Amino acid sequence: MNMSRKKRILVTGSAGFIGHHVVMALQHNHFEVVGLDVINHYYDPALKYDRLKEQGFEKSRISYNNCIQSSDIASRQFIQLDLTDAHSLDKLFQEQQFEIVVHLAAQAGVLYSLENPIAYVESNLVGFANILEACRKYPVKHLLFASSSSVYGQNVEIPFSTSHNTDHPISFYAATKKANEVMAYSYAHLYGIPTTGMRFFTVYGPWGRPDMACLHFAKCIAEERTIHLYNQGNMWRDFTYVDDVVTAVTKLLLRAPKIAKKRAPEAPFRLYNIGNNQPVLLLEMVALLESGLHKKASIDLLPMQSGDVPVTYADVDDLVTAIGYRPRTCLEEGIGKFLSWFKAYYKNQAMEKAA
């Protein structure tokens, strides 16, 4: 591998919420970044194209399997590609010779996995298998991949620790994320691929997904639509601000797992929770959004829905030990930053529609 050039990183899901923020953060001199996204229609792709525009990629320049350079940052590229397209993915790895892969692409959403499980098989299982195979065939120095707090399923021990049993996922989305973890472990063990799994806990912030609580609730309040809260509103979430997640990811990507000789034959594989380590009642988020938007929410309290859990709570001690960093943004601060983006983004959208 040519070490004279900058380190080249592949970020999959780069038009997505977390992927966008990771790409924007990797702008210093040590990295060349290639973003990849299929740009599907799980939610309005206009938001994805707007994220890409922030990265310097105009919609008119994007076409399938065509790698383009950002208009803003010379060392940033983007390719629209479906991870189930194994041939094109193989060719991309062969041409680019990635040193680090940050795999954030996935079919997300607990509820949608009840409606369309095959989409999760294709993206989260087949797509991830193709990533693993490409990392084996064209060896990388570190593979990082997104897992989810959903893998804890019926676990009742809190806070959730990576040492806890996760054999009982209660949604198919969670089952595919658990499958990703064991698939990745097997490749790390068999082929020595240094691999890090990251269990994200309820990430929120600017450019978020419209199906996630923060943006969905804000739009409902702004548009005077009803918010549905399950388990009669008694839902606690370990809300994690996206900048904290990005900081953890960028610190972890330079700390590839190694095997201590005394511990062989353990695989070069590690799992970390990335959460705020402080669960908050969902109604508190609603109250902060009401305050920031100067509008009262219409709330409908409903029973618990299938595939959901009442509490998420991350034990992040292992993360702190590994990188010396603990997510720290309180919900009030994070919601304030989110609302600054929300108001500006949707004001601009309204002006564009009116023009």
DSSP H helical segments within the chain, as ranges?
17-25, 45-55, 86-96, 110-115, 117-120, 127-137, 172-191, 213-222, 242-252, 282-293, 317-323, 331-354
- At 330, the amino acid letter reads C
Annotated active-site residue in 112, 120, 173, 313: 173
Collapse the DSSP code of 10 into the 3-class scheme (helix H, G, I; strand E, B; otherwise coil) and give the result: strand
Euclidean distance between CA atoms 84 and 66, whole angstroms: 16
Residue 150: name the closest of 109, 106, 116, 114 by CA.
109
What would the DSSP string read from start to end of 201-267? -SEESTT--TTSHHHHHHHHHHTT-EEEESGGG--EE--EEHHHHHHHHHHHTT------GGGTT--
The first and second tokens of residue 121, run together, are 């098989």
Dihedral of CA 136/142/147/152: which sign? positive
What would the DSSP string read from start to end of 35-55? EEE---SSS-HHHHHHHHHHH
Contact 61, 285 (CB under 8 A): no
Collapse the DSSP code of 199 into the 3-class scheme (helix H, G, I; strand E, B; otherwise coil) and give the result: strand
Euclidean distance between CA atoms 205 and 214, whole angstroms: 8
C-alpha distances in angstroms, 332 versus 177, 301, 329? Answer: 30, 23, 8
C-alpha distances in angstroms, 292 versus 42, 338, 343? Answer: 28, 10, 10
Q: Is 173 a catalytic residue?
A: yes
Give the number of C-alpha atoms closer than 13 A to the C-alpha of residue 43, restricted to the C-beta side. 18
Residues designated catalytic? 173
